[in-house]
Amino acid sequence: MARQRPATRSSRSAPARSPWRRRAMLALKVLVGLAVLLFGALLVAVYVARSQLPSFEELKSSPNGQMIRVHAADGSLLVSLGPSYGEWLPYADIPRVMREATVAVEDRRFRSHPGIDPIGIARSVEVRFARGRWVQGGSTITQQLARNVFLNNQKKFGRKFREWILALALERKFTKAQILELYLNKVYYGGGAYGIDAASRKFFGHGAERLSLAEAAVIAGLVKAPSNYSPTADAEAARGRAGVVIRQMVRNGYISQAEAARADPESLKLASPARQNSARYFTDWALPLLDTLIDETEAPLEVWTTIDPAMQRAADLAIRANAPPGVQGALVSLDRDGAVRAMVGGKDYVSSIYNRATQAVRQPGSAFKLFVYLAALEAGHKPEDTVVDEPVTIDGWSPRNDSRRNSGPVSLRTAFAYSLNTVAAKLGQEVGFATIADMARRFGITTPVNTHPSMVLGTSEVRLLDMTRAFASVAAKGVAVTPYGITRVTANGQTIYQHEVDRSHVLVAPYVAAEMTDLLQTAVNTGTGRQAQIGRPVAGKTGTTSSQKDGWFLGFSSGLTTGVWMGRDDARPISGLHGGTAPARAFAAFMRSATAARPIEQFETQVTLPEWQIEPDEESYYSAPDQGAMVDENGVPLDAPQRDPTRSDDPAAAAPQQLDELIDRVTGRAPVPEQTPRDIREPRNAPPERDQEPLPNQ
């Protein structure tokens, strides 16, 4: 029988290829095709971008950023802001240590990559997944140049993709030396300085061609975060960052360990920053408003402002001279149309750029009673109306007067002049606390206003600028006054913005504003604000918060409204601080100078003095006549020796009893002594400060 031959390998039928393998091969082919297509599209995009790039000379001549020159009301230059550019340094003139420091810390594979660094991108993605957020971007020097010149800093993938295209195109058109030259002459180093020469002059006082290793390390370290590492903002942080740069230079072989040890960034001497005066508080407030006024973002701007240099100097001096040691102060002065003529946000701009005139929110104390009495006058009350100063309890809250006693029937004028808390509480209960809050918002208070009964004593926090605006609106006969600081903006000689004053918004009827002015005059002439007198009609109000944490004086005269605040940033109590002392004196010092060249203006409502005001001098204060000397909060002349308040012959100790007798005569409960013609004269001394309000239930 014939033997059957085994089947050969070639004769076996090939097994059918599985569907999974066919799909995988198809997907692979599609992916390869897409990759080829995307690579081709990328090449096309890169070469299209390359063809549209400016020439090297054009890139050298195109600055980044916008220069802004700020002028005062008299045309003088206040400050020049924005970018500053030093001399352009060709690649060969840039110190070797500057080039190497930059490459070491910003892009150590700069010489080898094609414009983007795949290794850096991969590391960035790895860190992103490890930490859950983007920590490092993997951007090369070429990418940073593309972003600084052509794009913005938005962290969006679309922007990042365009950045890659431009970086690849830049590498195709320019040499590595040209790219590094462009980068070092155009990148932003903080403090308004663009390019290494501007940075070197700003931070070290000399040109970049003389940079040492330590200086180059400081400047190279600024690119990562110019505001954080700027030597003018934080010298220690700048030196610490320079140490990181030097270690990177050692790690990449640019310098030896011995050279690094000799560099010593800690011994660097930094150039002294230009002196900044208090006008910077104003420019810091006014210039951000440009974004809402104009659209121009490239052309150099000339900005014309409302600030008056002479008034600004007077305001600065008034705050420095009158704020007690360790106490901060702020001042805002508005012209009748809302133009800011002076703004001081603190005693020293260099040591603190925090603007207490526009940013700080503090309790205004009795200055807030402006809105209480405005609401009462609008509801029909008159300054001559009689109200009873008596104990009052509202929803469990029992306010007290600073004198710890009540005076019985008094006029609204007297109650306002001496800042009687119980009367303010009764008025608030009558007109409604929500009505008072609405009045405050109507007059420009932008911070939240509570409607608790204690709000009548100024427990809601406010800004000095808002309070000054409110008083200015009263001075404007009830028409809203809106503060503004920019009058005109020009670009390339063309006016692109012109301020227009809006006088159409009426807040209260003119007669209400006139009656309020009547009350404010009395507070200055006979009440808590006597030290704010300047020899011409003044209307104003003091404010003092519990434990003397804040002192305020706000008032107006001759078309100028000024607000003053004093206190500590940490809100600690300040012994002896009352609105009628240091703040009122600062107001008077400023206003005497600010109004000197203005005509004296009488108010429509002449001041009406309380009855006791025509009593003999020796009975209008609590000691013998002192020929007009200033008195402290206890009624004791400031230049008199301090007396023991426990002694029976001490006038200060007798002050409360004499004050009681005084109020009794004002309210008609005691006879007024017969007066002789020589007794009828303006008293020289103020009654004791009565503007200190306790917190609720105290």
Catalytic-labelled residue, pool 84, 230, 333, 366: 366
Q: What ranges make up the beta strands (E) of 278-360?
A: 301-305, 328-335, 340-344
DSSP notation for 153-180: ----HHHHHHHHHHHHHHHHHS-HHHHH
Distance CA 504, CA 507 (A): 10
The better pLDDT of the pair 10, 22 is held by: 22
Which residues, including other chains, have CB under 8 Å from residue 496's CB and lie 6 or more apart? 294, 296, 489, 490
pLDDT at residue 117 greater than cutoff 90: no
Q: What ranges make up the beta strands (E) of 366-458?
A: 386-389, 408-411
Q: Within a domain: residue 446?
A: no
* 245-247-253-258 Cα dihedral, nearest 10 degrees: 120
Q: How do strand 560-567 and strand 550-557 relate by DSSP bridges?
A: antiparallel
CB 338 within 8 A of CB 483: yes
Residue type, 500: E
Q: Within a domain: residue 571?
A: no
pLDDT at residue 644 greater than cutoff 50: no
Contacts of residues 375-379 at CB distance under 8 Å and 24 or more positions apart, as own/partner, are: 375/427, 375/431, 375/432, 375/435, 375/436, 375/439, 376/412, 376/427, 376/430, 376/431, 377/508, 377/512, 377/515, 377/516, 378/439, 378/508, 378/509, 378/512, 379/430, 379/431, 379/435
**How would residue 694 be classed by pLDDT, with cut points 50, 70 and 90?**
very low
333-342, 467-476, 483-492, 682-691: lowest mean pLDDT where?
682-691
pLDDT at residue 653 greater than cutoff 50: no
Our CA angle for 390, 388, 383, nearest 5°, is: 140
Distance CA 265, CA 279 (A): 34
Q: Average pLDDT, stretch 77-84?
A: 78
Distance CA 119, CA 138 (A): 8
CB 535 within 8 A of CB 512: no
Q: Which of 296-300, 306-310, 601-605 has the highest mean pLDDT?
A: 306-310
For residue 465, give the nearest of 252, 284, 694 by alpha carbon: 284
Residue written as token pair 């206190």? 567
Distance CA 389, CA 410 (A): 7
46-50, 187-191, 276-280: lowest mean pLDDT where?
46-50
Q: Is 76 a catalytic residue?
A: no
Q: Within a domain: residue 108?
A: yes
Q: Within a domain: residue 676?
A: no
Tens digit of pLDDT for each residue in 467-523? 999 999 999 999 999 999 999 999 988 999 999 999 999 999 999 999 999 999 999
CATH number at residue 101: 1.10.3810.10
Helix segments in 174-234, DSSP class H: 176-186, 196-204, 213-220, 226-229
Considering the entire predicted model, what is its pTM? 0.61
Mean pLDDT of the chain: 81
Can you give the pLDDT at residue 22?
75
pLDDT at residue 638 greater than cutoff 50: no
Q: Is 106 a catalytic residue?
A: yes
10-14, 303-307, 543-547: lowest mean pLDDT where?
10-14
Can you give the pLDDT at residue 136?
53
Q: Average pLDDT, stretch 331-339?
A: 98
The better pLDDT of the pair 654, 357 is held by: 357
Distance CA 517, CA 474 (A): 7
Based on the number of CB atoms within 10 Å of its own CB, is 82 exposed (0-12), middle (13-18) or buried (19 or more)? middle
Q: Tell me which H or E stretch contains 121.
A: helix 118-131
Catalytic-labelled residue, pool 84, 100, 106, 139: 106
Residue written as token pair 């040499």? 175
pLDDT at residue 642 greater than cutoff 50: no
Domain limits at 92? 87-267
Q: Within a domain: residue 298?
A: no
Exposure string of 244-272, with b = 16+ CB inside 10 Å and e = fewer, is bbbebbbeeebbeeeebeebebeebebee
Can you give the pLDDT at residue 618?
27
Integer CA distances (angstroms), 213 to 193, 194, 219, 652, in order: 20, 20, 10, 70
pLDDT above 90 coverage of the chain, percent: 51
Q: Within a domain: residue 121?
A: yes
Q: Tell me which H or E stretch contains 84.
A: strand 84-85
Q: Which of 57-66, 260-269, 583-592, 675-684 has the highest mean pLDDT?
A: 583-592
Distance CA 414, CA 354 (A): 38
Q: How do strand 301-305 and strand 486-491 relate by DSSP bridges?
A: antiparallel
Distance from the Cα of residue 328 to its chain's centroid: 15
Q: Within a domain: residue 601?
A: no
Radius of gyration over every alpha carbon of the chain, rounded to an integer in angstroms:
36
305-314, 471-480, 678-687: lowest mean pLDDT where?
678-687
Q: Average pLDDT, stretch 398-412?
A: 90
Exposure string of 100-114, with b = 16+ CB inside 10 Å and e = fewer, is bbbbbbbbbebeebe
Tally Cβ neighbours within 10 Å of residue 535. 11
**How would residue 107 be classed by pLDDT, with cut points 50, 70 and 90?**
confident
**How would residue 17 be classed by pLDDT, with cut points 50, 70 and 90?**
low
Q: What's 114's DSSP letter?
A: S
Distance CA 503, CA 481 (A): 8
Our CA angle for 19, 22, 23, nearest 5°, is: 90
First to last CA, the chain: 127
Can you give the pLDDT at residue 634?
35
438-442, 597-601, 602-606, 693-697: lowest mean pLDDT where?
693-697
Distance CA 411, CA 373 (A): 12
Helix segments in 476-609, DSSP class H: 510-525, 582-594
Number of domains in the chain: 1
Can you give the pLDDT at residue 65?
61
Q: Within a domain: residue 548?
A: no
Q: How do strand 84-85 and strand 193-194 relate by DSSP bridges?
A: parallel
Tens digit of pLDDT for each residue in 154-185? 555 556 778 888 888 888 888 999 999 999 99
Can you give the pLDDT at residue 108?
87
Can you give the pLDDT at residue 586?
98
Q: Average pLDDT, stretch 186-194?
A: 83
**How would residue 130 be classed by pLDDT, with cut points 50, 70 and 90?**
low
**Sign of the alpha-carbon torsion through 170, 174, 179, 181:** negative
Distance CA 575, CA 349 (A): 25
For residue 594, give the nearest of 565, 556, 621 by alpha carbon: 556
Can you give the pLDDT at residue 51?
78
